[in-house]
Amino acid sequence: MAVIVPESLESALAALTAYPDAAVLAGGTDLMVEVNDGRRPLTRVVAVGRVPELTGIRVDGATVVIGAATTFAQLERDPVAELVPALAYAARTVGSPQIRNAATIGGNVATASPAGDALPVLVALGASVEIAGGNRRRLVPIADYFTGPKRSVLDAGELVVAVQVPVLRGAQDYLKVGVRNAMVIAVASLAIAVDLEARRVGIGLGSVGPTPLAAPEACSWVASRARWRSDGVEVADEDVVEFGERVAGAARPIDDHRGTARYRRHAVSVMARRALRRCTR
């Protein structure tokens, strides 16, 4: 069988074990670009879209578990829009409506592009990636997941099963800079999440380093400077500006055809300021 369409996670993993050269197909929006361009010869495909363990969104206590086969179109809507608004905002910026109807969050995580739109949100929220392979199941904190540009700890024969995203009380947002008002790859992007319970601020950055990045130093600094209340958080104006600089300091951008390192760092500082202002008062 050139195309294997497993009906369970177990059979999907068995197929990947049996055929280590097989390509994993979910929404196809990354894989098929390479195939069409002749960069990815296919010998065998495991199409995981119908694996029941990979579908569905369920709330498990303070965590929402989003199946890897969930599309960005689904992420734009409830329950994700209500529980994790930053993820819904990020989803809306992915490609076109047609792409959002096909592309999946699992694919975004597996491809691990520094420009993957969902990824800064997962970083800001401290999400975890559920991975299954062979006889092994593991839950990898997003901070330990990426190892380089389009590289991760995901091994051959493994599948992203779901992402576990904390449901936080507090404001969050996602900002993305591109030179077109729709359908654009991020020149720089930033996700922010305020956690009123833990009194923490989380930041995730996209397209400004070899992997999606966090800004732990800036976040702990601002958390220590903020005035926390049960229903919100206040940050002084001058601290907002300094936060922008500190977040920009966490970026490791390069010059490429989409933008310069200098602009990217600047954009990060502006986005960080605006994001923090929107999420505080």
Partner 1 sequence: MSVEVGTRTAGGIGQRAIRPDGVAKVRGEFAFAGDLWAEGMLWGQALRSPHPSARIRGIDVGPALLITGVHAVLTADDVPVNRYGLEHRDQAVLAGDVVRYAGEPVAIVAADHPDTARRACAAIVVDYEVLAPLVDPGLSQSVERPIHPDGNVFRDLVIRRGNPDSRGPVVVEGDYEIGMQDQAFMGPEAGLASPAADGGVDLVVSTQWLHNDRDQVADCLGLAPELVRLTLGGVGGAFGAREDVSLHIHACLLAVRTGRPVKIVYSRTESFLGHVHRHPARIWMRHTARPNGEIVSVESRILLDGGAYRSSSYHVTANAACFAAGPYRVPNALVHAIAVRTNNPPCGAMRGFGVVQSCFAHEAQMDLLASACGLDPVEVRLRNALAPGDELLTGQRIEGALPVAEVIRACAALPLPAPAVDDVLARPGGAGRTAGARDVRRGVGFAVGFKNLMYAEGYMDGSVARCRIDGGVVTIACAAAEVGQGFVTLVQQIARTVLDVDDVIVAPADTDMGSAGSTSASRQTMMSGGAVEKVCRAARAELERRAGGDEVDIAALTAREPVDVTEEYHHRLTHPLDADGQGDAHVSFACAAHRAVVDVDPELGLVRVVHLATSQDVGRVLNPLQVTGQIEGGIAQGVGLAVMEELIVEGGQVRNASFTDYLIPTALDAPTVDAVLIEEPEPGAPFGAKGVGEPPTISSTPAIVAAIRDATDAACTRVPVRPRDLVP
Partner 2 sequence: MTEMYVLRVNGDEHAVADAWLGESLLYVLRERLGFPAAKAGCEQGECGSCSVFVDTTLVCACLVLAAAAADTEITTLEGLQPSARGAVTDVQRAFVETGAVQCGFCTPGLVMAVHALLETDPEPTDLAVREAISGNLCRCTGYGRILEAVEVAVAARRGAAR
What residues between 62 and 121 interact with partner 2 by CB under 8 A? Answer: 73, 95-99, 101-102
The DSSP letter of residue 225 is H
Cβ-based neighbours of 114, under 8 Å, separated by 6 or more? 149, 150, 206, 207, 208, 209, 210, 211, 212
- For partner 2, which residue of 31, 109, 223, 247 counts as binding (CB under 8 A)? 31
Tell me: does residue 8 bind partner 2 (CB under 8 A): no
Which residues contact partner 1 by CB under 8 A?
36-38, 89, 92-93, 173-187, 189, 256-260, 262-263, 266-267, 270-271, 274, 278
For residue 20, is the peptide bond before it cis, meaning its omega torsion is within 30 degrees of 0?
A: no
Complex with partner 1: residue 161 or 271, whichever CB lies closer: 271
Which string of b and e fits 102-140 if b means at least 16 CB within 10 Å?
bbbbbbbbbbbbbbbbbbbbbbbbbbbbbbbbeeeeeeb
Q: Which does 102 bind (CB under 5 to 8 A by kind): partner 1, partner 2, none?
A: partner 2
Please report, for residues 106, 114, 117, 208, 263, the alpha-carbon distance to residue 189 in angstroms, rounded to integers and kept in the order given: 19, 10, 8, 8, 12
Q: How far is the CB of 30 from partner 2 (least distance, A)?
A: 9
Among 15, 24, 25, 51, binds partner 2 (CB under 8 A): 25
Find the binding residues for partner 2 in span 215-274 (CB under 8 A): none
* Cβ neighbours of residue 59 closer than 8 Å, sequence gap 6 or more: 65, 79, 83, 167
Out of 18, 139, 183, 236, the only residue in the binding site for partner 2 (CB under 8 A) is: 183
**Contact footprint for partner 2 (CB under 8 A):** 1-3, 5, 25, 27-29, 31-33, 35-37, 40-45, 47, 49, 73, 95-99, 101-102, 181-183
